[in-house]
């Protein structure tokens, strides 16, 4: 097998050229400017020292550049993964303790190993267990929890909680301790950042800048908020007025070390790490696919698992915490013209430079400004359109989405994901156990067959055609047997039953047993069973069973052929046509 299968850098690296280098460097510069405040903010959201966010934005980006397949995906700390890390580590130890930091690093290590393992085993399809409504509901609920959790920093008060009721109760209890200067900084930064998202680009365009340049400058708006708020803190001595700042940030590169192995800790983190891996992978792949489609490129989901897994392993050995592909920075990376994953490696160089030389300036950064950055970022994740659409389209999917939102808000992110997946699987199993099947007849003047409840079609009392619209498995075998026998019992004149199998892709052993039972029970009632339009792979499987040998009827290539032949045979075996058949012949229908 080619090494490029596991090292995509060998594929795109062979054609790397000067133009791509220039585009990647420009994109990296813009993403670096955006990523510095985000990294600090998301680390604090995860309950970790701010420098950990910088550490998680260096080596993981290099690892993804080597192993990832997306040309534009920007890996690093993200809001939802930071929240899940805080929840998991908070169940192990108190924030700020060495044990808490150890748990966060272990989360990166365990999730990285899980992703790499799933990628090597080509288990990327497991992410399909999370439907889009469930993922959308989880991210929406997480966004609301994250935004609410940051209100304490915007107000300058002490509050906590992992669920919405706990957060609101704690905020209400401490609202009287609000620090006015912090409130002014936090609200000003929030309003400014919201305006930047919508109003800065049109303003810059009116001033004469090109739309693409104006958009990229608007994406760098958080840097302006950071600079102004730092200047305000320093010049007005707001720290003395109770404004909480980031504080001292070590002026160094990440501390490279192998995380220790603690069996008890790993056991406690296995389920949270698995949930984090799946959520991070789904979020990352959805972004990567969207951006790849714009340039008619492709990604390999299984290799993406390996790329993200290696990024998390790199984060673990460099003092970071779990990472994944971020939507906002990936879009900025794409819009800035990134040609290859090398843009991520160049971004890592920029973050490393910031960790070495810019941290003294960042020590005076108000925590309220970082909270504003988080609030503005996560509220864009709150999706209010999808629930309305899903409600009108599929009530079952809406139920799964609503349950995910409510359980996440009321019980926390981990239980919310489990509830969403569980309900989604339950709904799937329910639907699979009751497949769609229709009694069909022939459309006059054609060879097409349609549902008798939807179209004016030709049928006969002695002939029943049932179209099965899904594969036959152990989940629906009993239902099919019941449906067929009830349909036959309601038609005493019936002599032939045709099962139209054009939509049946497989028949498992349980379904085969049900078909054999149907065949025997119909034979006892004087009804012959026929099959039509059986697909090749299904027919190949049936050749190894007794059904075809014991079948009382025939297997027809087409439903029309079966209908045309059997309409003449109404159970009279003396060779004469019945009057109703004479009528069919007179009408030219057979």
Q: Which of 12, 22, 18, 59 is nearest to 336 (CA)?
A: 22
Helix, strand, coil percentages (3-state) for the chain, rounded to 5, are: 65, 5, 30
- Within 8 A by CB and 6+ apart from 261, the residues are none
Q: What CATH number has the domain spanning 437-586? A: 3.30.750.24
What pLDDT, in 10s, does the model give residues 293-351?
A: 887 778 888 999 999 999 999 999 999 999 999 888 888 888 878 899 999 999 999 99
Residue 583's pLDDT is: 41
Confirm if 367 and 179 have CB atoms less than 8 A apart: no
Tell me if 84 sits within 8 A of 274, measured CB to CB: no
CB–CB of 315/64 below 8 Å?
Answer: no
The whole-angstrom separation of Cα 196 and Cα 204 is 11
Residue with tokens 């940051």: 150
Per-residue pLDDT of 385-438, as tens digits, reads 888 898 999 888 888 888 889 999 998 888 888 888 888 788 888 888 888 899
- The 3-state secondary structure of 283-306, one letter per residue: HHHHHHHHHHHHCCCCCCHHHHHH
Strands 496-500 and 449-451, sheet pairing: unpaired
Domain ranges of the chain: 16-426, 437-586
Please state the rounded mean pLDDT for residues 43-51.
93
Token pair recorded at residue 517: 């039972």
Work out the angle at residue 183's Cα, subtended by the Cα atoms of residues 177 and 189, and round it to the nearest 5 degrees: 155
C-alpha span between 436 and 429 (Å, rounded)? 14
- Cα separation of 174 and 159, whole Å? 7
* Residue in 362, 409, 490, 308 with CA at minimum distance from that of residue 49: 362
Q: Is the pLDDT of residue 582 over 50?
A: no
Predicted confidence band of residue 68 (pLDDT cuts 50, 70, 90) = very high
**pLDDT the model gives residue 351:** 95
**Given this model, what pLDDT does residue 1 score?**
52
**Residues in contact with 534: Cβ distance below 8 Å, sequence separation at least 6, in sequence order:** 501, 504, 542, 555
Q: What pLDDT is stored for residue 221 in this prediction?
A: 77
DSSP assignment, residue 443? P
At residue 571, the pLDDT reads 54
In this predicted structure, what is the pLDDT of residue 578? 42
Which 3-state string (H, E, C) describes 99-157? HHHHHHHHHHHHHHHHHHHHHHCCCHHHHHHCCHHHHHHHHHHHHHHHHHHCHHHHHCC
DSSP letter for each residue of 73-90? --EE--HHHHHHHHHHHH
CA distance 405 to 134: 8
**Prediction pTM value:** 0.80
The model's confidence at residue 377, banded by pLDDT at 50, 70 and 90, is: confident
CA 527 centroid distance within chain: 49
User: 469 Cβ partners below 8 Å, 6+ apart?
Assistant: 435, 436, 437, 438, 503
* Distance set, CA 125 to CA 128, 297, 312, 406 (Å): 6, 20, 20, 27
């Amino acid at each position: 097998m080619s090494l490029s299968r596991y090292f995509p850098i060998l594929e795109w690296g062979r054609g790397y050229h000067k133009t791509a280098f220039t585009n990647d460097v420009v994109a990296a510069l813009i993403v670096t400017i955006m990523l510095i405040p985000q990294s600090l903010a998301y680390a604090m959201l995860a309950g970790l020292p701010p420098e950990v966010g910088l550490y998680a934005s260096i080596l993981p980006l290099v690892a993804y550049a080597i192993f990832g397949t997306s040309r534009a995906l920007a890996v690093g700390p993200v809001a939802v993964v930071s929240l899940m890390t805080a929840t998991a580590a908070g169940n192990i130890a108190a924030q700020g303790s060495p044990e808490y930091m150890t748990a966060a690093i272990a989360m990166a290590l365990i999730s990285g190993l899980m992703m790499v393992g799933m990628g090597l085993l080509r288990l990327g399809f497991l992410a399909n267990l999370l439907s889009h409504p469930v993922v959308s509901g989880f991210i929406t609920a997480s966004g609301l929890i994250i935004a609410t959790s940051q209100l304490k920093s915007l107000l300058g008060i002490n509050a906590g909680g992992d669920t919405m009721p706990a957060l609101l109760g704690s905020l209400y209890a401490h609202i009287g301790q609000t620090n006015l200067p912090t409130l002014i900084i936090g609200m000003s930064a929030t309003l400014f950042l919201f305006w930047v998202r919508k109003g800065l680009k049109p303003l810059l365009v009116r001033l004469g800048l090109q739309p693409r340049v104006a958009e990229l400058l608007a994406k760098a708006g958080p840097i302006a908020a950071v600079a102004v708020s730092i200047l305000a803190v320093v010049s007005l001595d707001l720290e003395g007025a109770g404004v909480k700042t980031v504080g001292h940030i070590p002026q160094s590169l990440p501390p490279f070390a192998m995380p220790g192995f603690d069996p008890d800790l790993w056991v406690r983190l296995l389920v949270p790490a698995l949930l984090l891996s799946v959520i991070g992978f789904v979020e990352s792949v959805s972004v990567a696919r969207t951006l790849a489609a714009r340039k008619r490129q492709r990604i390999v989901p299984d290799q993406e698992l390996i790329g993200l897994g290696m990024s998390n392993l790199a984060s673990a050995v460099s003092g970071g915490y779990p990472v994944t592909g971020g939507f906002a920075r990936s879009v900025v990376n794409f819009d800035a013209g990134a040609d290859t994953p090398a843009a991520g490696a160049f971004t890592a160089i920029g973050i490393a430079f910031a960790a070495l030389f810019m941290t003294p300036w960042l020590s005076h950064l108000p925590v309220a400004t970082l909270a504003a950055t988080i609030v503005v970022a996560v509220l864009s994740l709150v999706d209010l359109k999808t629930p309305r659409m899903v409600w009108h389209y599929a009530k079952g999917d809406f139920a799964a989405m609503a349950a995910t939102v409510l359980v996440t808000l009321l019980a926390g992110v981990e239980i919310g994901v489990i509830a969403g997946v569980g309900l989604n699987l339950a709904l799937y199993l329910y639907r699979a156990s009751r497949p769609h099947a229709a009694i069909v007849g022939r459309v006059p003047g054609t060879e097409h067959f349609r549902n008798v409840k939807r179209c004016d079609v030709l049928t006969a009392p002695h002939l029943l055609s049932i179209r099965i619209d899904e594969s036959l498995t152990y989940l629906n075998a009993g239902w099919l047997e019941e449906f067929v026998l009830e349909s036959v019992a309601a038609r005493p004149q019936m002599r032939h039953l045709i099962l139209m199998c054009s939509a049946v892709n497989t028949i498992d052993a349980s379904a085969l047993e049900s078909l054999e039972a149907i065949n025997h029970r119909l034979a006892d009632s004087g009804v012959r069973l026929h099959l039509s339009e059986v697909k090749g792979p299904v027919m190949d499987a049936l050749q190894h069973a007794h059904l075809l040998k014991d079948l009382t009827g025939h297997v027809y290539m087409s439903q029309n052929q079966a209908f045309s032949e059997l309409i003449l045979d109404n159970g009279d075996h003396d060779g004469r046509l019945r009057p109703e058949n004479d009528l069919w012949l007179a009408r030219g229908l057979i």
